[in-house]
Amino acid sequence: MKIAIAGVAGKMGKMIFAEVIKNSDIEITGGTEAMGSPLLGKDIGEQAGFDKIGVCVVDSAEKAIENADVLVDFTRPNVTLQNLEAAQKHKVNMVIGTTGFTSQEQKIIEDASKNIAIVQATNMSMGVNILLSLVEKIAETLDSSYDIEILEMHHNKKVDAPSGTALSLGKAAAKGRKTTLEKDACYAREGNTGARAQGEIGFATLRGGDVVGDHTVIFAGEGERIEISHKASSRVVFSKGAVKAAKWVASKEDGLYDMQDVLGL
């Protein structure tokens, strides 16, 4: 199987490369960085701190995916959408780990999945995807007298809030309650807010230091509280999931999938 990596010199790009080279059945055929990057033209392996692989960093997905089966993309929404156009043109399936899409941008991804197979997930770790399943089940089991709050913390360079994973957890809770996050979400509280509305799904966002990703879902009832958490101490869990998703989606026909599909959950 042949993989291209968007943003190959970024934190996640390097981690994904390091995971891919552990797999003898996967070949890296391309990697991108932004125009003007000093890494353009450098060997992908060398820039990641490994031996040369004979493939250079290029400035567009169009060039990187010429011989690829799958493009793995953990970049930014505007970059991912540009790469998506190239992937459709060349019939290359995608793994999208980018977060922060608007509803209109998400619609573009959904439309693209009619032409190619896409695995899109806000978090590709096995632990978080098990957490999503548990949150949905707990929300389905408990009645609305249990207040749901979602707390997340990430490093101080993260640009979107709440995190994509936190939003996915909120959607899982809403699905369990047979409602929608659009209807019941509360993203911020300040000043004299009044009593908490029953059925509300609240979010709290923390940013600081080099935290990879912490998520806690709280079900607070009368006289008891259930808290279920996932803490990532390394991005390795995300890169492992991304490579697993790439292997899974390589032979799929068109469609939009997530890590629940990849993991059989």
pLDDT in tens, 203-251: 999 999 999 999 999 999 999 999 999 999 988 999 999 999 999 999 9
For 103-149, the pLDDT digits (tens) are: 999 999 999 999 999 999 988 999 999 999 999 999 999 999 999 99
DSSP string, 15-74: HHHHHHTT-TT-EEEEEE--TT-TTTTSBHHHHTTS---S-BEES-HHHHTTT-SEEEE-
**pLDDT in the model for residue 233:** 93
Q: Which residue has the tokens 């803490």?
A: 231
Share of the chain above pLDDT 90, in %: 93
Residue 215 falls in the annotated catalytic set: no
- Please give the CATH topology (third level) of the domain spanning 126-232: Dihydrodipicolinate Reductase; domain 2 (3.30.360)
Averaged pLDDT, 145-163: 96
| End-to-end Cα separation, the chain, in angstroms | 24
Considering Cα of 37, then 39, then 42, then 45, what sign does the dihedral take?
Answer: negative
pLDDT at 265 over 90: no
- Given a cut of 90, whether residue 33 has pLDDT beyond it is yes
* Per-residue confidence (pLDDT) for residue 3, from 0 to 100: 97
Q: Where in the chain is the domain with CATH 3.40.50.720?
A: 2-120+235-263
Full DSSP string of 107-122: HHHHHHTTTSEEEE-S
Residue 100: what pLDDT?
87
Query: Cis (ω within 30 of 0) for the bond into 162?
Result: yes
Catalytic hit among 2, 158, 175, 252 = 158
Whole-number pLDDT of residue 67:
92
- Which residue in 154, 215, 230, 247 is the catalytic one? 154
State the span(s) of the chain assigned CATH 3.30.360.10: 126-232
Could you tell me which CATH number the domain at 2-120+235-263 has?
A: 3.40.50.720
Q: Which residue has the tokens 């999931």?
A: 241
Check residue 2 and give its pLDDT.
97
Please indicate whether residue 137 is annotated as part of the active site: no
Strand blocks (E) in 155-244: 185-186, 201-207, 213-221, 224-232
pTM value? Answer: 0.82
Residue 125, H or E segment:
none
186: pLDDT strictly greater than 90: yes
Token digits for 252?
Answer: 């799929």
